[in-house]
Chains A and B, each alone.
Chain A
Amino acid sequence: MPSLIDLIQEGRKVEQHGPWPRAVVDASAWRFAAGELAQGNWSLLGLWGEPATVHMAILDARTADVAVVSLDCPDRAFPSVGRQHPPALRLERTVNDLFGLAAEGLPDTRPWLDHVRWGVRFPLGDRIDALPKATPYRFLPAEGDGLHQIAVGPVHAGIIEPGHFRFTASGETVVRLEQRLGYVHKGIEGLMTGAGYERAVQLAGRVSGDSTVAYSYAFSRAVEAALQLTVPDRAVWLRALLAELERLANHLGDIGAVCNDASFTLMHAHCSVLRESVLRASNSAFGHRLLRDIIVPGGVSRDIDEQGPETIQATLDNIRLRFPDLIELYDNTASLQDRTVDTGMLKPAMAQQYAAGGYVGRAAGRSFDARRTLAYAPYDSLRFEVPVLNEGDVNARVWIRIREVEQSLSLIDQILERLPDGPLGTHAGHIREAREGMAIVEGFRGDVLVWLRLRDGRIERCHLRDPSWFQWPLLEAVIENNIVADFPLCNKSFNCSYSGQDL
Chain B
Amino acid sequence: MRKLLFESLFRRPFTETAPSPDDAALSELAAAVGRAARRRLGRSLSIREVDAGSCNGCELEIHALNNAYYDVERFGLRFVASPRHADVLMVTGPVTKNMREALERTYHATPNPKWVVAVGDCARDGGCFAGSYAIVGGVAEVIPVDLHIPGCPPNPMTMLQGLLALLERVDAVAS
Contact = CB atoms under 8 A, between A and B. Distances in A.
Contacts of B83: 155
Interface in A132-168: 154-155, 157-162
B44 interface: no
B59 A159 contact: yes
A123 B132 CA distance: 10
A266 B94 CA distance: 34
Interface residues of A, number: 52
B50 interface: yes
Contacts of A158: 81
A272 B133 contact: no
A184 B51 contact: yes
Contact of B97 (A117, A253, A497): A117
Interface stretch (B34-42, B99-107, B140-148, B159-167): B99-107
Interface string B59-83: 1111110111100000000010111
A381 interface: no
A434 to B, nearest CB: 24
Interface in A470-501: 497-499
Given A273-B68, A325-B3, A183 B102 contact: yes
Interface string A332-359: 1100000000000000000000000000
B152 A292 contact: yes
Contacts of B53: 183-184, 186
B100 A187 contact: no
A372 interface: no
B57 A190 contact: no
Interface in A283-336: 283, 289-290, 292, 325, 329, 332-333
Given A155-B106, A208-B56, A333-B1, A115 B66 contact: no
A117 B98 contact: yes
B interface, how many residues as a size bin?
35 or more
Interface in B105-126: 106
Contact of B54 (A154, A184, A203, A269): A184
B14 interface: yes
A155 B102 contact: yes
A279 interface: yes
Nearest to B83: A155
B46 interface: no
A381 to B, nearest CB: 31
A499 B153 CA distance: 15
B68 A272 contact: yes
A212 B50 CA distance: 21
B58 A206 contact: no
A118 B51 contact: no
B55 A273 contact: no
A187 B132 CA distance: 6
A168 to B, nearest CB: 22
A199 interface: yes
A191 interface: yes
Interface string B1-34: 1011100000000100000000000000000000
B134 interface: yes
A457 interface: no
A497 B14 contact: no
A187 B135 contact: yes
A272 B66 contact: yes
A407 to B, nearest CB: 22
Interface centre among B59, B62, B132 (most CB of A within 10 A): B132
Interface of A: 115, 117-120, 123, 154-155, 157-162, 182-188, 190-191, 199, 202-203, 206-210, 212, 253, 266, 269-270, 272-273, 275-276, 279, 283, 289-290, 292, 325, 329, 332-333, 497-499
Given A186-B134, A266-B1, A269-B68, 20 more contacts: A117-B100, A118-B134, A119-B133, A159-B49, A159-B51, A159-B59, A183-B98, A184-B93, A184-B98, A185-B98, A186-B94, A186-B135, A187-B134, A190-B133, A191-B132, A272-B64, A289-B61, A290-B57, A498-B56, A499-B55
7 contacts: A115-B97, A159-B59, A159-B79, A184-B98, A186-B132, A191-B129, A290-B60
In the complex, the 4 A-B pairs of residues with the closest C-beta atoms, listed nearest first: A209-B57, A187-B134, A157-B81, A187-B132
